[in-house]
Amino acid sequence: MDNFKDKLYQLEVTPPPDMWSKIEASLDDEKVIQLPGIRKRSTFLFYGITAAAAIVILLISGIFFSKDKKIQNVAQVQPVTQKQPLTPVINKDSIVQNQEILESIIKTKKNKNLIAAVTPRKEGGKKEYITIAGAEGQPVRISKKAATLIISADDEYPPKAKWDKQIDEWQQIMLDNTLSPTPTNLMDIMQKAANLE
């Protein structure tokens, strides 16, 4: 005799006769819901949308990276074009410019004191400096104003009073400065003052 577990496990009961027709009807309903045409269309739509999205992404990324490359190229080229050929040109230009400025100051018939004030600054607000040879031949950068004063001194211009005033100002600056003047620069000043007199 089978035990009750086997009896229940192997229990077989014939289902109602109309059961299959109900199941069949349910299966037909499933087919109606999943029409093959709709399925194909939805599949086509899905792949179409996916492909379109992929193309758009590729285009955008292509544009983005090409821009990025251009910027990189510019960044790579610029230093080369500036550094190599321009360095000597700048030096040459600055020497020529020096000469031109000095000549324009010397030759001008205008009040030489006004030249520096009137001469407009370069774009970017930077002063134009000129380089002259110092007492021992060393290069010294001076402003236009200082150049004007030096040239004027040679031409006995401006008047002595102007120079006195300027030296008084320098002395005052030195007195106000916490740094004590060294014997060397004090002697330079004395020498300069003697020369002027």
Q: Which residues bind other proteins (CB under 8 A)?
A: 1-5, 7-16, 19-20, 22-24, 26-27, 30
Residue among 4 and 79 whose Cβ is closer to other proteins: 4
Residue 21 beta carbon to other proteins: minimum distance, rounded to whole angstroms: 10
Residue 87, both tokens: 């360095």
Neighbours of 148 (CB within 10 A): 24
Residue 4 beta carbon to other proteins: minimum distance, rounded to whole angstroms: 4
> Strand pairing partners for 132?
140
Residue 14 beta carbon to other proteins: minimum distance, rounded to whole angstroms: 6
Residue 40 beta carbon to other proteins: minimum distance, rounded to whole angstroms: 17
Q: Which residues contact 108 (CB under 8 A, 6 or more apart)?
A: 115
Three-class secondary structure assignment of 115-180: HHHHCCCCCCCCCCEEEEECCCCCEEEEEHHHHHHHHHHHCCCCCHHHHHHHHHHHHHHHHHCCCC
Residue among 8 and 135 whose Cβ is closer to other proteins: 8
Alpha-carbon gap, residue 139 to 112, rounded angstroms: 24
Residue among 19 and 57 whose Cβ is closer to other proteins: 19
Alpha-carbon gap, residue 71 to 69, rounded angstroms: 5
Residue among 23 and 196 whose Cβ is closer to other proteins: 23
Residue among 2 and 136 whose Cβ is closer to other proteins: 2
Residue 6 beta carbon to other proteins: minimum distance, rounded to whole angstroms: 9
